[in-house]
Amino acid sequence: MTEVMGVLNVTPDSFSDGGRFDALDAAIARGHELVAQGATIVDVGGESTRPGAEAVPPAEEQRRVLPVIRALVEAGASISIDTIHAETAEAAVAAGASIVNDVSGGLHDPRMVETVAASGAEFAIGHWRGIPDPAHRRSGYLDVVGEIREALARSAERAVAAGVDARRVILDPGLGFDKTAEQGWRLLARLRELGGPEARILVGISRKRMLGELLDALPEAARGTGGPMARDLATAVTSALAVRAGAWGVRVHDVPSTVQALAVAGAWAAAERAESSPDSAPAPSSVPVSALAPAPTPALRPGRSAAGTDPVPEPMPRFDGDLIRLSGLEVRAHHGVFDFERERGQRFVIDAEVSVDLGAAARSDELARTVHYGELAEAISAAVERDPVDLIETVAERAADVALSFDGVRAVRLTVHKPEAPIDLPFGDVSVTVVRAAAGSGSGSGSGSAGGSE
């Protein structure tokens, strides 16, 4: 599920909505409105980070935000506190906030990472080089994507070293913070490169200057009414594209337009997945990837002989020919035996190998004679996202069945990784692997396991 973080600025001077919600009643009402409109998180901020904004003492910041947080939490809202001050973060979490959203990534206040660690809150780590500089004097990068990826990694490592649970870290590339429009678009285009396969990326493009520059280049009649709120349509479109590119969540001022854009993108993606279902032949549109791998060692599958006594070996599907490999497919779903896993969901990572005969495709250079791996990825993702179950064994079986439904697939080896599994000891990963053969393929079906868990 995509997280939609609705912005609630309890400030008199924010760049787009300053003063609209600085009164307590207005702020609380706005928070309720954001939730009703579809925001899954309300991001409450009491200090503007716009260029030229005056610094706000933590005491005044808390006076603005804490009553709002308490009221919204009491009503059941999920709250993020947008602050660069450790003192405010600590008070906000005590008032019920579950996420600390620090645009400085813990760099402004040296106490921030220890404070977040002690609080147990989630930590949204932003990238910045200071309060935004409209002149871009700090926007020099040799490799903007690589440098920001490394900076975010350092900030995350610093937080984890201080005691923040790595599974509770969220990364924000900090669009608009000492980055030109061109640099911002490059970051969005390579969003998945900003973190590892388990990274949760938050994109805050809402009403940013880079959108304004884009719209200013359009014919006057196409720009809208002018002002920051005229950027809401562009915000919604960009947010939907960011989610399609792998964003975990988006931070927006105008929730309805983004929720609508996400609904359209979701319907489109669902139709694409339906087209790759067993009832529809996949329409190839990309080049296949093939490789060779040795046949695995046959394994015993739990079973009994005809006499009902000893376990009998069952042959594994053969993987000694052509393969198409898909690895690191990230899907957010709500599987698990615990209620909090069902409610909040978590990240699953899928690796799949399908055994196919790629000779005809290689000789003819016709995409229709191979498996369209883009459609395969969409179909597996849809299978994993489906109704919640307790076990990742069940998820793996479900996804393997979908892979086997593709024409030409003789066997599949599919692994479901659960890197955020609720294990109280330090661990790197937990996963389940199943190996299955298509009916009538001439090779049996079997299963192997790599550390099975719920």
| Residue 351 within any structural domain of the chain | yes
Q: Judge contact between 446 and 299, C-beta under 8 A.
A: yes
| pLDDT < 70 stretches in the chain | 13-19, 50-53, 132, 226-228, 277-321, 440-454
Based on the residue annotation, tell me whether 251 is a catalytic residue of this protein: yes
> Measured between alpha carbons, how far is 61 from 11 in angstroms, rounded to an integer?
9
pLDDT for 204 equals 97
Do 218 and 74 reside in the same domain of the chain? yes
Do 31 and 135 reside in the same domain of the chain? yes
Do 250 and 303 reside in the same domain of the chain? no
Q: Judge contact between 322 and 289, C-beta under 8 A.
A: no
Do 149 and 107 reside in the same domain of the chain? yes
Among 251, 410, 418, 436, the one annotated catalytic:
251
| Residue 285 within any structural domain of the chain | no
CA distances from 17 to 21, 45, 283, 341 (A): 8, 12, 46, 36
Do 254 and 312 reside in the same domain of the chain? no
> Measured between alpha carbons, how far is 1 from 35 in angstroms, rounded to an integer?
15
Q: Judge contact between 97 and 73, C-beta under 8 A.
A: yes
> Measured between alpha carbons, how far is 3 from 232 in angstroms, rounded to an integer?
18
Based on the residue annotation, tell me whether 342 is a catalytic residue of this protein: no
pLDDT for 441 equals 57
Longest dimension (CA), the chain: 83
> Measured between alpha carbons, how far is 167 from 153 in angstroms, rounded to an integer?
14
Do 48 and 187 reside in the same domain of the chain? yes
Q: Look at the chain and report how many structural domains it folds into.
A: 2
Do 268 and 302 reside in the same domain of the chain? no
pLDDT for 357 equals 87
pLDDT for 319 equals 53
- Residue 135 belongs to domain spanning: 3-272
Do 190 and 323 reside in the same domain of the chain? no
Do 401 and 296 reside in the same domain of the chain? yes
pLDDT for 16 equals 56
Residue 332's CATH number? 3.30.1130.10
Domain end position, chosen among 245, 272, 299: 272
> Measured between alpha carbons, how far is 387 from 372 in angstroms, rounded to an integer?
25
Do 371 and 409 reside in the same domain of the chain? yes
Among 179, 208, 209, 410, the one annotated catalytic:
208
